[in-house]
Every structure is written in structure tokens, then in C-alpha cells.
A and B are shown apart, each in its own frame.
Chain A
Amino acid sequence: MQPEQDDAGLIAATKDADTAAFGVLVRRYQEVAFRTAYLIVRDAGAAEDVTQEAFVRAHRALGGFRASEPFRPWLLRIVTNLALNEVRSRKRRSGLLERMGFAVGSGSAPAPEVIALETERQRMLWRAICELPEDDRVVLFLRHFMELPEREIAEVIGKAPGTVKSRLHRASERLRGVIEARYPTLKPASAGGEEHG
């Protein structure tokens, strides 16, 4: 019966110390959480850590969560912030180690995975996306990869829906610019600017 409960019911049960109810929520949203994290950190292990941590933090913060609000964007906001922190932390760690000339084991600081894309066009498009600023990438991931509506994206990134629309437009234009400049064999019209809405 529990898996059929809506989010609000599961959240209410979780607040009443029903751990199993939270387990249902975790399993309901772990795929979207993991995939969002993976797009940002580009490493399956790190994405798993981020996902687990996000649910733990969500659980701890659930007391202040309003049952009338949708759970998914709230969770994805935590996921996104943690994933971005992980990326920044990696850069800092890397810089710190470099500055120190620190001798580390080769396997101890895994590089982001190489994502197995089938065609050269896919690889070019992915590289083009990865060259975008962080803010642009995040809104494109949420809109086109996670297929979130703009109002949910607004909740995830903590901005007004109108801002999301303009950010998506800006991100698409930038993607188009990167493609034109660096991957001209990908047609500019395919950058996706007209696809969102």
C-alpha cells in the first residue's frame, strides 16, 4: 500500500518517525536525483555519494518542509547544490594538492568518467555543453535532460520562473555560440533554443 501513497502522505509519515515511508520516497526519486548529480559531477561514484547525502539531508530538513510544496524540486535543489559543491571541492582539492606538490596514489583521486557516447555528433554536443558556464549547464540539464517544467526549475535553482525562462534562452544561445565557434559541423539550429518552453 505504501508505494502508492502520494508524496505528502509519505512525508507526513516520515515526520511521524516512519522510516519505511522515507525509504519509499528515496526509491521513488533516487533515479532523478542520481541522474541530476551524475550530469553535474560526471562520475558515478561521486553521484551516488551526492545522492545518498542529499536524501540524508532532506530527511533531516523534513521538519521544516511544507507538505503543500512539491518534494521533487526541493530534493533536486539539495542534489544540485551538493553536486556543484562537489565539483568545486574537487577543483579546490586539485589546486591544493598541486600547490603542495602532494604525492598521492594514482587511484585515490578519480578523474571524471569518460561518458560512452556513441557518435561523434553526440560527443561534440556533450563537449559543447560541458564548455558552458555552470549556471547554463544546470538549467539545460534540468530542462532538457530531466525534463522539468520551468516552474520546477525555478524552485530548484531558487529563482523566479521568468528568470528561468531567460536563463534557458541565454544558455541555449551560448550553446549555439559554442557550437558555431568550435563544433561547426553540428548545425546551430540544433542547439535546442527553440525546443524549450
Chain B
Amino acid sequence: MLNEFARAFPYPATPDVAPGVLMRVAERPSAPPPGAWRVRLTTAVLALVGLAAATLAVSDGAREAVAEFFGIAVEGERIEVLPTPIAGLPTPFPEPVDIAERARAVTPQEARDAVGDELVGVPGREPLAVYLLAPGQAPVVVQRYQGFDLWQVRTNGAPNFEKGVIDGRVVEEVTVNGTAGYWIAGGQRLVTFLDAEGTPVAGTQRTVLAPTLLWHDGERYLRIEGIGELAEALAVAEGVR
């Protein structure tokens, strides 16, 4: 009976996806190779959720970028495109909080020991402070520079990075030193650490207002938070060593 049931199963009519596929294939001939980030970008934990206010106009490019981000480029990171909230209704997000209030100030050596990696840096600039966050699976070092924070995580293969973005948030695919990266901007987002099982860690939610540039360098996941313009963020990111 199973076979009989299966053969008579009422599938919807198959849509012709060929035009859409071919259009996307033609538009994106130089997409980053699948798997380039797949293994490496599987560390730290974040969830970004946009708010209703200041929702930006949705461009096809932004949607595409979200889809990309969600898929091939950052497998292991969870990026959820959330439904747009109803305008005017309150959203129960916490007040923005400085990461320094959630992190422990450490010395550079303590930070190196914690992440098991050399700290990257921005040539010509000295960090004002170094913080360590370790509520999730992988410890995160945040170096505070004048005007921005530089996040560094050494990946360990475990998928524990989750991001949620409102459909319509600006998510732009960029290249940092030849590696795929993403620029996320436009309104508030929520950041949540997850544990090794992928479960949100209670008390770690943090509302983020600043634009963020994400990229990867070898086995490091890097993130600049706080630079308002993409060009400037890219210039800083490309100098990070």
C-alpha cells in the first residue's frame, strides 16, 4: 500500500525553475567557491535579529546575499531570515549594551592563551582594551580600537554560530583580501551566543546597532563592529594581520 500511496501522491504542479536558475547563474558567474568557508567558519555564536523600525527597502541583491550567507558561504553559522514584524508593535529586544559590560577585560597574553591563537591586529593602531567572551563553545576575543571592535574567534569545526536577520536588512556580499565576507547593516540586530549543542545561552542576548563586517582568514573568524561605512570597514579589514 505504501507504494500505491506514493505513486498517487498529490504533488503540486512542478514549477519551471529553469528561468530563475539560469538568471541567477548568469548574474553570479564569480561566486565564491562552495566550501571555501564551510569547514572553517563554524565557530563563535551569534544571532542577529533585526527590528521593525528602520527596516530598509528590500533589494533583490540583498535577498540574494542573505540567501548566500545562509547557505554555501557560511555553513555552520546559522543565519535566519526572519519574517518582517508588524509595524508599530513593540519588539521585546533588550536595550543595547556595550560588549565591555558582558566581557572580561584581559591582557593580550590571557587572550592568546584563551583562544589558542595569536591575536590579529590593525597596523598602526593599538587596541584600547582587550576583552574575552566565553559563554559559548568557542572563546571570543574582542579588541577595542578607537571607533570599532575587532572580534576574533578560532574555529573548531562545531557549528555554533547563528544569525537571524529580518528580510530586507542590508546584507551585502563583499571580498576581504580575496575571501568572501559580508556586510550587515541597517537597524538593530540581536546577538546571542549558543552552546555546543546549538542551544541559545541564557542571558547572552545583546542588541547591536552598529554595522558589522564579517570575514574569514584561515582558521580565524573575524568581525569588525562599529565602522559606519563599508569602504572604511573594508580598508581596515584588509589591513588586519
Contacts and interface: CB of A to CB of B under 8 A. Distances in A.
B80 interface: yes
Q: What does DSSP make chain A's interface, helix, strand, loop or mixed?
A: helix
A191 B2 contact: yes
Interface in B1-45: 1-3, 5-6, 9-12, 14-18, 20-22, 24-26, 28, 31, 33-34
Interface residues of A, number: 57
Contacts of A61: 34
Interface string A130-162: 000000000010001101000000000000000
Nearest to A78: B34
Interface string A178-197: 00000000110011100100
B17 A55 contact: yes
Nearest to B72: A57
A51 interface: yes
Given A26-B18, A103-B90, A125-B2, A108 B190 contact: no
A97 to B, nearest CB: 7
A110 to B, nearest CB: 9
B108 to A, nearest CB: 35
Given A117-B10, A125-B1, A103 B82 contact: no
Interface residues of B, number: 47
B14 A19 contact: no
Contacts of A175: 2
Nearest to A47: B12
Interface string B153-171: 0000000001010000000
Nearest to B24: A56
Contacts of B218: none
A192 B34 contact: no
Nearest to A17: B29
Contacts of A39: 9
B226 interface: no
Contact of A89 (B12, B28, B47, B80): B80
A59 interface: yes
B85 interface: yes
Interface in A14-60: 19, 22-23, 26-27, 30-31, 34-35, 38-39, 44, 47-48, 51-53, 55-57, 59-60
Contacts of B52: 103
Contacts of A108: 83-84
A191 B5 CA distance: 11
Contacts of A122: 5
Contacts of B54: none
Contacts of B12: 38, 44, 47
Contact of B92 (A100, A109, A115): A100
Contacts of B17: 26, 30, 34, 48, 51-52, 55
B194 to A, nearest CB: 10
Contacts of B18: 23, 26-27, 30
18 contacts: A23-B21, A30-B17, A35-B14, A47-B12, A55-B17, A56-B25, A60-B34, A60-B72, A61-B34, A96-B164, A100-B92, A101-B92, A102-B85, A102-B92, A104-B84, A125-B1, A140-B2, A144-B2
What 3 A-B pairs are tightest by C-beta distance, nearest first?
A192-B2, A108-B83, A190-B1
Interface of A: 19, 22-23, 26-27, 30-31, 34-35, 38-39, 44, 47-48, 51-53, 55-57, 59-61, 82, 89, 92-93, 96-97, 99-105, 108-109, 115-118, 121-122, 125-126, 140, 144-145, 147, 175, 186-187, 190-192, 195
Interface of B: 1-3, 5-6, 9-12, 14-18, 20-22, 24-26, 28, 31, 33-34, 47, 49, 52, 67, 70-72, 78, 80, 82-86, 89-93, 162, 164, 190, 200
Given A52-B21, A97-B83, 8 more contacts: A26-B22, A38-B12, A39-B9, A93-B164, A96-B200, A104-B82, A105-B83, A126-B5
